[in-house]
Amino acid sequence: MEVVYYTLIAAGLYFMSDWLLDRFEVSRGERFQRGTRSLVFFVIILVLAFISFNFIKYLMLFSE
């Protein structure tokens, strides 16, 4: 069941990261350059993944 949780969260993180990147670009007033945009997307999804996956691990630990 844990694999299902991680898979669903990963899909949600992808869309959330894309949305946050778009919000950053709108507030900035222009799109990031191609290489920079990929790097910013990677940083956003990496931070969100660490937070959410550690939270899932925490919840799974105390649910047993």
Q: What is the pLDDT of residue 64?
A: 66
d(CA 60, CA 58): 5
In the block, which residue shows the tokens 């047993």? 64
pTM of this structure: 0.84
Q: How confident is the model at residue 56 (pLDDT cuts 50, 70, 90)?
A: confident
Q: pLDDT band at residue 1, thresholds of 50, 70 and 90?
A: confident
Structural domain for 57, as ranges: 2-63
DSSP state of 64: -
pLDDT digits (tens, 9 = 90+) for 19-32: 999 999 999 999 99
With residue 5 as reference, give the H or E element that holds it.
Answer: helix 2-28
Please tell me the total count of domains within the chain.
Answer: 1
